């Protein structure tokens, strides 16, 4: 990994110079606000779940009460206001911010401590009352500068986790410096992302854990795209360095280094729309006790849709490699580092790997909010009729590895079989106005044996949900 570390040092010097030059160019320009643009979204949604887990209680042979009272149903409303503001300082120069407000369950008393409503409270108050001040969360604030021939720059907390198709995407915001240049049908660009800083300056701020140096999580990326009518393709190459474990004691990871390659293609050929994306991650985890783990992770996605008059039919396949607990020195999946997985924005079904469930109701037992360790097959069809849009889909999913998925003691951490199960989904969306829509949907999961530990005598229960959502965009 010596060559990777040398490349990292070169990258770091390059980005420091680029950052200095871009900031000098931006801040030396005269500032005079000439325009402000607003955009955003507000939604209110209601969900019903017939149960919150795959069993009526704990596993019959599990000494740890992992799934208590999962037979009970649950229902609730939730909402969110998202507001984005662009301050246009001069042509080509803007300051962009975004915040989410009142993103919460209706009647959630944990925000105010005593009741579900919101009310004024001094910011210095103690206990759960502090949460009443968390009704607004700023997520983005960044400068966007278009310099013409020198390219476009973004500096600040900005979006960066989307690329190509929806597969693998997570529309997150982190501290970043981005540059891109368009020439003809080609676009080239580069990104630096500071995911986490663990330097010694944190100790000065009272939030550090000791004397540390450069214990950071950084991402460096370059990419290029080619776009023309009905065709879009590109390749991103990223280098990830995670040194947050430097200076820790065994058995913690000391440093992780690796490369991720992500090509994609989207094409429209007559009535057929094709899209696909591949994520390949290769790297190495160095451990304090001198062990090492090789990373060989792969995720892939393909979708084909055919228009038949106003209707459409299609099918998709998605794959994400998984880890085998019997092979600890080989890592093929990790949602934390966000490599070789489906991503938060990829929501192929209403139940399996849908981040909305994870966010508002918690993980379905045995799953996380992004697709990992799975093969997913799906067929779907839709019919837009005037202001209505109807869609149905049938999906089947299997795990790549069944060893070591669960957190319970062995042998309960081995699944009975690889099947996640079959899922049937249906949604209907009515466009009330150009900016206001209402959606109702239902999903039913015939739960597979992947949710069943190898020593469990009972079969897992089926799961269904009912949902509806009112959305205003502006």
pLDDT at 18: 53
pLDDT at 192: 96
Instruction: Give CA–CA dist 198/215, Å, rounded.
Output: 4
CA distances for 82 relative to 76, 85, 139, 343, angstroms: 20, 10, 10, 21
pTM, 2 dp: 0.82
CB 270 within 8 A of CB 239: no
In Å, how far from its chain's centre is CA 194?
17
| Below-50 pLDDT ranges, the chain | 1, 8, 26-29, 31-33, 58-69, 113-130, 132-133, 203-208, 407
pLDDT at 459: 82
CB 146 within 8 A of CB 135: no
Please state, as a whole number, how many other Cβ atoms lie within 10 Å of the Cβ of residue 251.
9
Could you give the angle at the alpha carbon of 343 between the alpha carbons of 342 and 347, nearest 5°?
75
Cβ-proximal residues to 418 (8 Å cutoff; 6+ apart), any chain: 398, 399, 400, 402, 448, 449, 450
pLDDT at 248: 66
Cβ-proximal residues to 62 (8 Å cutoff; 6+ apart), any chain: 408, 409, 412, 453, 456
Instruction: Give CA–CA dist 378/397, Å, rounded.
Output: 9
In Å, how far from its chain's centre is CA 372?
12
Across 147-216, the runs of DSSP E, i.e. the strands, are 152-159, 173-183, 186-196
Instruction: Give CA–CA dist 12/215, Å, rounded.
Output: 14
pLDDT in tens, 270-308: 999 999 999 999 988 887 766 778 888 899 999 999 999
């Amino acid at each position: 990994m010596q060559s990777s570390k040398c490349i990292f040092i070169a990258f770091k010097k390059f980005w420091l110079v680029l950052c200095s030059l871009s900031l000098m160019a931006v801040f030396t320009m005269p500032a005079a606000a000439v325009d402000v643009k607003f955009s955003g979204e507000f939604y209110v949604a209601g969900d019903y779940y017939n149960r919150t887990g795959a069993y009526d209680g704990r596993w019959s042979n599990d000494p740890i009460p992992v799934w208590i009272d999962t037979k009970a149903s649950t229902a609730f409303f939730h909402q969110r206001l998202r507001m984005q503001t662009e301050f246009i300082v001069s042509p080509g120069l803007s300051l962009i911010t975004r915040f989410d407000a009142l993103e919460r369950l209706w009647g959630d008393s944990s925000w105010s401590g005593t009741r579900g409503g919101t009310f004024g409270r001094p910011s210095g108050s103690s206990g759960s009352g502090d949460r009443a001040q968390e009704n607004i969360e700023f997520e983005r604030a960044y400068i966007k500068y278009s310099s013409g021939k020198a390219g476009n720059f973004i500096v600040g907390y900005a979006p960066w986790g989307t690329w190509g198709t929806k597969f693998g995407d997570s529309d997150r915001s982190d501290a970043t410096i981005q540059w891109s240049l368009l020439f003809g049908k080609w676009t080239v660009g580069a990104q630096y992302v500071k995911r986490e800083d663990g330097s010694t300056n944190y100790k000065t701020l009272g939030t550090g854990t000791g004397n540390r140096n450069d214990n950071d999580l950084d991402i460096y990326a370059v990419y290029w795209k080619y776009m023309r009518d009905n065709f879009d393709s590109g390749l991103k190459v990223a280098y990830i360095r995670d040194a947050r474990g430097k200076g820790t004691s065994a058995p913690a990871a000391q440093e992780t280094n690796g490369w991720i390659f992500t090509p994609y293609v989207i094409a429209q050929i007559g009535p057929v729309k094709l899209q696909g994306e591949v994520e390949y991650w290769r790297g190495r985890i160095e451990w304090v006790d001198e062990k090492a783990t090789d990373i060989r992770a792969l995720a892939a996605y393909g979708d084909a849709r055919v228009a038949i008059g106003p209707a459409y039919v299609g099918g998709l396949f998605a794959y994400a490699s998984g880890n085998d607990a019997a092979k600890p020195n080989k890592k093929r999946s990790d949602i934390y580092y966000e490599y070789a997985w489906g991503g938060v924005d990829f929501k192929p079904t209403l139940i399996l790997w849908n981040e909305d469930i994870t966010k508002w109701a918690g993980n379905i037992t045995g799953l996380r909010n992004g697709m990992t360790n799975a093969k997913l097959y799906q067929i779907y069809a839709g019919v837009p009729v005037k202001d209505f849009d109807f869609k149905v889909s049938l999906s089947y999913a299997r795990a790549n590895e069944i060893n070591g998925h669960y957190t319970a003691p062995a042998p309960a951490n081995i699944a009975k079989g690889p099947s996640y199960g079959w899922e049937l989904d249906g949604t209907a969306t009515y466009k009330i106005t150009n900016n206001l829509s209402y959606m109702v949907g239902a999903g039913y999961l015939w739960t597979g044996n992947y949710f069943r530990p190898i020593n469990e005598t009972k079969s897992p229960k089926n799961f269904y949900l009912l949902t509806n959502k009112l959305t205003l965009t502006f």
